[in-house]
């Protein structure tokens, strides 16, 4: 495969419960030849249906800290009391094979990667409204009210960082969101940036400000 076909590095972040995992799963199912989803290492416990080595590399805190010491991670961060990080070897191998590598990680890690790899594209996925976001968290059925409240409060903080991203995707329904993510990445890869101007963060400030306002109202219990 020629050098011009080398994949690009893409980081996808978004509020907890927004549907990032579902979007990434369908994107890879529909465009398997174009993408590889980086598998993160984490110290959190597996959720129902998650598979070691496919969903995450589930490791102990001691193992994770050993990986940090050996410089085996592109980035790592702590979120809700657990470590998350991106192993280097898998990412670089996939890029060289011509696949764009998508990292589904939190904001801290995304910004660290952007610092190291300037050409990385950052996509932020959001829900249509704060009410819908809370509903999706509740419908998971895996978290207590305290955890849901924590995640909604965390979303208030995350919303303040959105302008540090390149592109915005609103997950109104999964099929449209998958199509939008694919369109953005492919146009970035082949430098057709005029085609996706409408998706730039800077062209969606009205929506972002509205979402911030709604999230703050929810955090106050309004």
CA torsion 204-208-209-215 (nearest 10°) is 170
Residue 70 is assigned to a structural domain of this protein: no
Q: Residue 20 annotated as binding?
A: yes
Residue 52 pLDDT > 80: yes
Report residue 87 as tokens.
């192993």
Mean pLDDT on 7-24: 94
pLDDT of residue 221: 67
Residue 198 is assigned to a structural domain of this protein: yes
Residue 164 is assigned to a structural domain of this protein: yes
What is the share, in percent, of the chain residues with pLDDT greater than 90? Answer: 72
| Burial category of 86 from C-beta neighbours within 10 Å (exposed 0-12, middle 13-18, buried 19 and up) | buried
Residue 49 pLDDT > 70: yes
Mean pLDDT on 86-105: 90
Pairwise CA distance, residues 207 & 222, whole Å: 20
Q: Which H/E stretch holds residue 201?
A: none
Nearest Cα to 127, choosing from 43, 214, 5, 48? Answer: 214
Task: With 0.95 as the threshold, say if the pTM is over it.
Answer: no
Residue 131 pLDDT > 50: yes
Q: Residue 21 annotated as binding?
A: yes
Residue 55 is assigned to a structural domain of this protein: no
Domain that holds residue 182: 3-38+99-219
Question: What pLDDT digit, counting tens, does each position of 165-186 carry?
Answer: 999 999 999 999 999 999 999 9
Q: Residue 40 annotated as binding?
A: no
Residue 107 is assigned to a structural domain of this protein: yes
CB atoms within 10 A of CB 203: 13
Q: Residue 19 annotated as binding?
A: yes
Residue 23 is assigned to a structural domain of this protein: yes
pLDDT band of 80, cuts 50, 70, 90: confident
Q: Residue 14 annotated as binding?
A: yes
Residue 147 is assigned to a structural domain of this protein: yes
Residue 210 pLDDT > 90: yes
CATH (domain of 127): 3.40.50.300
Residue 93 pLDDT > 60: yes
pLDDT of residue 2: 45
Pairwise CA distance, residues 105 & 27, whole Å: 16
Q: Residue 38 annotated as binding?
A: no
Q: Which H/E stretch holds residue 9?
A: strand 9-14
Q: Which H/E stretch holds residue 208?
A: helix 205-219
Give the total number of structural domains in the chain.
1
Report residue 5 as tokens.
């076909």
| Pairwise pLDDT comparison (147 vs 125), residue with the higher score | 125
Q: Residue 17 annotated as binding?
A: yes
pLDDT band of 222, cuts 50, 70, 90: low
| Pairwise pLDDT comparison (168 vs 21), residue with the higher score | 168
Q: Residue 85 annotated as binding?
A: no
Pairwise CA distance, residues 186 & 20, whole Å: 18
Residue 143 is assigned to a structural domain of this protein: yes
């Amino acid at each position: 495969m020629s050098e011009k076909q080398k994949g690009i590095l893409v980081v996808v972040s978004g509020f907890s419960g927004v549907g990032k995992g579902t979007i990434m799963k369908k994107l890879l199912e529909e465009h398997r030849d174009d993408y590889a989803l980086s598998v993160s290492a984490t110290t959190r416990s597996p959720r129902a249906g998650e598979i070691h080595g496919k969903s995450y590399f589930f490791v102990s805190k001691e193992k994770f800290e050993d990986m940090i010491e050996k410089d085996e991670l592109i980035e790592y961060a702590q979120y809700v009391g657990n470590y998350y990080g991106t192993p280097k070897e898998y990412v670089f191998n996939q890029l060289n094979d011509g696949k764009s590598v998508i990292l589904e990680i939190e904001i801290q890690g995304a910004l660290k990667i952007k610092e190291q790899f300037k050409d990385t594209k950052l996509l932020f996925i959001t829900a249509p409204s704060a009410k819908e976001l809370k509903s999706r968290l509740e419908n998971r059925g895996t978290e207590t009210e305290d955890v849901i409240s924590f995640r909604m409060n965390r979303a208030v903080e995350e919303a303040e960082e959105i302008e540090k991203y390149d592109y915005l995707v609103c997950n109104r329904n999964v099929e449209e969101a998958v199509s939008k993510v694919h369109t953005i990445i492919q146009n970035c890869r082949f430098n057709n940036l005029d085609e996706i101007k409408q998706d730039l963060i800077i062209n969606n400030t009205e929506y972002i400000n509205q979402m911030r306002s709604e999230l703050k109202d929810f955090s106050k219990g309004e």
